[in-house]
Amino acid sequence: MSADINEDLYAGSSDTTDGRVFTVTGQDWDSITAGLDMDADERVVVNMGPQHPSTHGVLRLILELEGETVTEARCGIGYLHTGIEKNMEFRTWTQGVTFCTRMDYLSPFFNEMTYVLGVEKLLEVEDQIPEKAQVMRVLLMELNRISSHLVAIATGGMEIGALTVMTIGFRERELVLDLFELITGLRMNHAFIRPGGVAQDLPPGALDEIRGFIALMRKRLPEYADLCNANPIFKGRLEGVGHLDLEGCLALGLTGPVLRSTGYPWDLRKVQPYCGYETYDFDVQTWDTCDSYGRFRVRLNEMWESLRIVEQAADRLAKLEGAPVMIADKKIGWPSQLAVGSDGMGNSLDHIRHIMGESMEALIHHFKLVTEGFRVPAGQVYVPVESPRGELGAHVVSDGGTRPFRVHFRDPSFTNLQATSVMSEGGQVADVIVAIASIDPVMGGVDR
């Protein structure tokens, strides 16, 4: 089989009943513009990104414009590819958490949670996870939902010129990251949720800090409502922009606030509960406008619900003082006792002395568990969780070894970005920014 060497098999145009179709896969600019109808003098192709300040990270948007109207919008992705899924095949099951936490870097605990739930399901130890570990997982995920929604609202506000929304959004997010640092030792990329439980117990005074945060947020969240909810300029930029109804969301597989803005109350915490979510009192937030304004209101309301869950989790943790946070099975539970030393967070020297002084067998077992890891029975599972952006799921495959055979993530940002064209085409150039912001994609999760 031979082909013209000048022919790009992936960038050609074809005639359809709906007009001409151009497939863009990151090729040279000339090959895109060559396919345009040069008879249309007013039609131009604009390359927005991947360094544009209004594109949520390294997202490339190829816009075909006729005047100020967007006639075609396509996404170019892959600029942040990290090979995380492939790298996880060369690390132990526990070390895999360190990789996947870095995918969607605005919601790391959800990345860890979906992967760990998959590993625990393959191990068939879901019923052995300590109650305190499950409550701490819920606490951290809901705090993370708040911090992620704060960034979505803050950056979305910044992109339409509402700079006060941006400054107060990041102000509140810093408070959440302070709590993360207090509990896990890190502001991001925590690798704290591990197969069998969590890395370590809450530090002294953590519950008091959490309750102080809840009280403060209940005073500050109304500021967003005062600034945005009935603001005619804010509403003028968001209402009716990025419209996508329920039928369109279901056809594209969209989830999260984008789906719930159509009035459909689909939330995995309610319909497919995990980590004991069925025991918490909260409501699924929806809106009925199917537009960017509805998605903003859903996220704002969800922060209130997350505060309710965090408060319930804090009350439960107060009654679990001294309870274990890691599975009792010593062949699975990573024996990490961390401490803050002169070089930052690391293994506790007292814990190392304890292991080395206990017995030679204990030392050998610890060495094998840390270096080689535990074995997971052969099989495959898919476990989804409700992340701030929608359904985040891990398809975990084991061949019976000490490392994953394959791990593939269903990231909601990747799926939701499909809506870019249908939300943007027919609107103005300025509305593309609003539509993308309402999807709230994180490119670390898209590219992986």
Question: Which one has a higher pLDDT value, 49 or 158?
Answer: 158
Check residue 380 and give its pLDDT.
93
Check residue 18 and give its pLDDT.
59
Q: Which fold has domain 84-333+374-447?
A: Cytochrome-c3 Hydrogenase; chain B (1.10.645)
At a CB cut-off of 8 Å and minimum separation 6, what does 300 contact?
149, 153, 221, 224, 225, 228, 229
Residue 141 — very low, low, confident or very high, per pLDDT cuts 50/70/90? Answer: very high
Q: Of 92, 115, 249, give the one whose Cα is nearest residue 192.
A: 115
Residue 210 — very low, low, confident or very high, per pLDDT cuts 50/70/90? Answer: very high
Residue 17 — very low, low, confident or very high, per pLDDT cuts 50/70/90? Answer: low
pLDDT at 34 over 80: no
Of 41-45, 151-155, 194-198, 427-431, minimum mean pLDDT range: 41-45
Q: Of 257, 140, 158, 143, give the one whose Cα is nearest residue 200.
A: 140
pLDDT at 348 over 90: no
Burial 290-301 (b: 16+ CB within 10 A, else e): bbbbbbbbbbbb
pLDDT at 69 over 90: no
What is the mean pLDDT of the segment spanning 34-39?
56
pLDDT at 13 over 60: no
Note the pLDDT tens digit of each residue in 93-120.
888 888 989 888 899 999 999 999 999 9
Q: How far apart are CA 180 and CA 309, in angstroms?
A: 17
312 and 299 in contact (C-beta within 8 Å)? Answer: no
Question: Which one has a higher pLDDT value, 232 or 207?
Answer: 207
**Per-residue tokens: 367:** 């060495």
Q: What is the percent of the chain with per-residue pLDDT over 70, rounded to a whole number?
A: 85
Mean pLDDT of the chain: 83
pLDDT at 399 over 60: yes
Question: Which one has a higher pLDDT value, 52 or 433?
Answer: 433
pLDDT at 31 over 80: no
Residue 138 — very low, low, confident or very high, per pLDDT cuts 50/70/90? Answer: very high
Q: How far apart are CA 138 and CA 218, in angstroms?
A: 19
Helix (H) or strand (E) holding 444: helix 443-447
Q: How far apart are CA 105 and CA 177, in angstroms?
A: 13
Locate the domains of the chain by residue range.
Answer: 13-76, 84-333+374-447
Q: What is the percent of the chain with per-residue pLDDT over 90, rounded to a whole number?
A: 27
Question: Which one has a higher pLDDT value, 56 or 65?
Answer: 65
Helix (H) or strand (E) holding 172: helix 163-184
Check residue 421 and give its pLDDT.
86
127 and 276 in contact (C-beta within 8 Å)? Answer: no
Q: Of 414, 436, 403, give the one whose Cα is nearest residue 87.
A: 403
Question: Which one has a higher pLDDT value, 397 or 2?
Answer: 397
Check residue 9 and give its pLDDT.
52
pLDDT at 5 over 60: no
Q: Of 280, 303, 256, 312, give the one whose Cα is nearest residue 146.
A: 303
Check residue 70 and give its pLDDT.
85
At a CB cut-off of 8 Å and minimum separation 6, what does 135 contact?
276, 313, 316, 317, 320
Measured over the CA atoms of residue 189, residue 194, residue 197 and residue 203, the dihedral's sign is negative
What is the mean pLDDT of the segment spanning 214-225?
88
Residue 19 — very low, low, confident or very high, per pLDDT cuts 50/70/90? Answer: low
Residue 406 — very low, low, confident or very high, per pLDDT cuts 50/70/90? Answer: very high
At a CB cut-off of 8 Å and minimum separation 6, what does 383 contact?
114, 117, 118, 121, 274, 393, 394, 396
Check residue 339 and give its pLDDT.
61
Of 248-257, 280-289, 369-378, minimum mean pLDDT range: 369-378
pLDDT at 26 over 70: no
Angle, nearest 10°, between helix axes 131-159 and 292-318? 150
pLDDT at 395 over 90: yes
Reduce the DSSP state of residue 32 to 3 states and report it: helix
